[in-house]
Structure 1
């Protein structure tokens, strides 16, 4: 049996999925991102391989994605984040046609065909107020752990309003709310509501469909999921490990690419010379 790897090098973490020819996940890992992308990607890959009981030589194809995808010399192909997230979400929830991906530095709304092929997409502007990094800054100011903000937000009884589209001004609003005696729970829910409103605008521009799937690290926060569902006025799909969607999609596309190469009677190019890139399709 052949095995492939999908490596997603994000702003906060590196995620790896090891998949076999039957499209079953055999191993996975998550490692905190460091500036030296190659060693940290290798570290994450080794951890996933260890879980799968495999060696790197057992891999027939490696696909990378994420903002650091070009910095992995042992890859076979690099693929855009939007393409990978779409494929990963469709694999997890086959009936979905709308995907929202909120990570540390960006938010993306993607409209997809059956199977995960991209139809349309929109991304947020460069301001940090529209992505997960804003939640981290708010949590730091409020002196709470990021992993706790979801549970705090969901306990809110009177969410505060955070309307500024600029991260700096939004942080000033948070300071004002604290000075006025607002609770941490209500402020964090205000942060989540602000992100949900921005997400709705992106989704409408990409094309809102009946079934929406929420992926990315921010999807782990229960309060954010609740805020999004109330804003969209519908339930959203959330996997148990929503941050793995990009790596999952990369692995699926690696397997598809490998199958195509085999069908054409070719062999995968020797690493690390291959520098092919798959564009958004």
Structure 2
């Protein structure tokens, strides 16, 4: 993936282009605007765990450096875990892109400021409060990272984003488990982007807060009648991933007619 390939992508007025950055990171182009979601474009996690730890070593190179993304209009973070709000990535983006606005859950705003992003460039997001960002309308939705977490003001610490690009709707859940009422909030979206790496007792004992699993992702897509299911959070770190074959097996067992796309790192997909 190169900056030139992204900028030279030709689209109709109603098409969107999705570029996969790894983990849950996506760059979305719609008309002449660029929306960056959960960019993790460093090796912060590797360094934290120790570069020789096989479970926490990137399985592929960074698709594009944050310094090259000086054209991005909006940067979204779903929550403040490193693989979704990476200090190295956000600091580099802020330094090399003077126009980008950073959209983050209200309770994590101070954390993002501490990474070197000026407060004047940050927009607080709250569940249900619609945002108009260029030609895209965005509705934040509460995300349950195993559970729903709120601050003292009742604002959710983790969010997903329902995004309307003309007649096409996309939901990027961030890290999320299914909870009562989620399906109703995202019913009818065209593109459903959700994690599939699951959760479990031993993961939680190792401070790995979990997500929905592959079966749940497939059944959620079926329930809301998503046109396209995009699995996330399965490929970057062996210590918290999932075999793609297992996801495909679940899909063909529970909803064989469901359209899906499993991205390769750096891939472009036009919807």
Q: Normalising TM by the smaller chain, what interval?
A: 0.3 to 0.5
Q: Going by fraction, where is helix more abundant, 1 or 2?
A: 1
Q: TM-score, normalised by structure 2?
A: 0.36
Greater RCO, 1 or 2 (C-alpha within 8 Å, sep 6+): 1
Task: Please say which structure displays the higher CA radius of gyration.
Answer: 1
